[in-house]
Amino acid sequence: MIMMARLDRAYRLMLWFSSIASAALSESSTLQAFSSLVVFGDSYTDDGPEYYTPEPSQNLSTVTSTGGRIWPQYVQQYTGINLYDYAVSGAVCDAYFSPSKRNGVKQNQLPYFLKDKDYVGDGSLVLPSNETVYAIWIGTNDLGPSSFFTDNRVSLTLLDYIECVYEQLDALHEAGARNFVLLNLAPLNYAPMYALPENGGTINTTFWKDEGAYNANATQVSEKMRQYVALVNSIYNYRTSEEVQISDRYPSSSFTIFDVHSLLSDIWNNPASYLNGTVPANVTSTITAVPEQL
């Protein structure tokens, strides 16, 4: 997994969120200020709580499933916004995509948010329409071995995953959301379970214990994921423009695609420009080895 904590240039991401209007796909932004951020996703975004009213589902803390600080926490630190993070580690866009039991943005995260949004008591959400940004970063597990990568749902294609993402944006728009950020897929072919051996890849990891039984050819596995990610990100680029500017699927809204793929690829290729610390930057070794990998 590529480490996102302790980035010298993390501040650039915060500045970008603060000035999102200038980068929106729409010609005119509906964002007059930035006071609240609502996010949906998986472990890359999960900071703990699953809901916020009448009280958060668990104590707000910096302890996360990944063991480090999550990007929305940096946004909150540098901007002082209200953060409502509904992401859950291991989540997919639609729980149906995976035969294993998983949290779904469709089945769990969005319904929790809508329920919180309707709550009017103490601690209710602060969501001024012209000051709130809604961000979604989902797909790492959808494309993974518990879903599309190993053809667990043979009747579906990657287009079903992509349509699911836009359907969640439909529901948010209907609920009053007007400022959207769609984060594209990370370069997952560099993650240990998909990476080439020379890039720190390994077979039969904690998150894919039977990878060798599926395909022990690391080159084929890595290349398949690289192509999946490239395809999905390309579709995001042209389809978002079409839905927003031509079809007017989300009227009176502003959209931005944040290119996570380019950012993390640059970190991987130029780690010394981003990662700080007292040891040489390293993007291919393991921070923690679990027993199955020892």
pLDDT at 3: 37
Whether 19 shows a pLDDT value over 70: the answer reads no
Which has the minimum average pLDDT: 13-17, 106-110, 252-256, 274-278?
13-17
Q: What is the mean pLDDT of residues 86-103?
A: 94
Bridge partner list, 183: 258
For residue 176, the domain's CATH number is 3.40.50
Residues of the chain with pLDDT > 90, as a percent, come to 59
Q: Is residue 87 part of a domain?
A: yes
Which long-range contacts does 96-102 make (Cβ < 8 Å, 24+ apart)?
A: 96/153, 97/142, 97/147, 97/148, 97/152, 97/153, 97/156, 97/160, 97/161, 97/164, 98/141, 98/142, 98/146, 98/147, 98/152, 99/146, 99/152, 99/153, 100/146, 102/141, 102/146
Q: Is residue 258 part of a domain?
A: yes
pLDDT at 219: 94
Whether 221 shows a pLDDT value over 80: the answer reads yes
Domain extent for 76? 10-293
Q: Is residue 223 part of a domain?
A: yes
Q: What is the mean pLDDT of residues 23-35?
A: 64
* CA atoms of 63 and 67, how far apart (whole Å): 6
pLDDT at 85: 95
Q: Is residue 253 part of a domain?
A: yes
pLDDT at 81: 94
Q: Of the candidates 37, 164, 13, 5, which has an alpha carbon nearest to the alpha carbon of residue 98? A: 164
pLDDT at 2: 37
Which residue stretches of the chain are H helix?
Answer: 10-18, 71-79, 110-118, 158-174, 211-214, 218-241, 260-269
* CA atoms of 136 and 71, how far apart (whole Å): 12
Phi, psi (rounded to 5 degrees) for 39: -130, 150
Q: Is residue 175 part of a domain?
A: yes
Whether 205 shows a pLDDT value over 70: the answer reads yes
Q: Is residue 1 part of a domain?
A: no
pLDDT at 97: 95
pLDDT tens, 155-197?
A: 899 999 999 999 999 999 999 999 999 999 999 999 989 999 9
Q: How many domains does the chain have?
A: 1
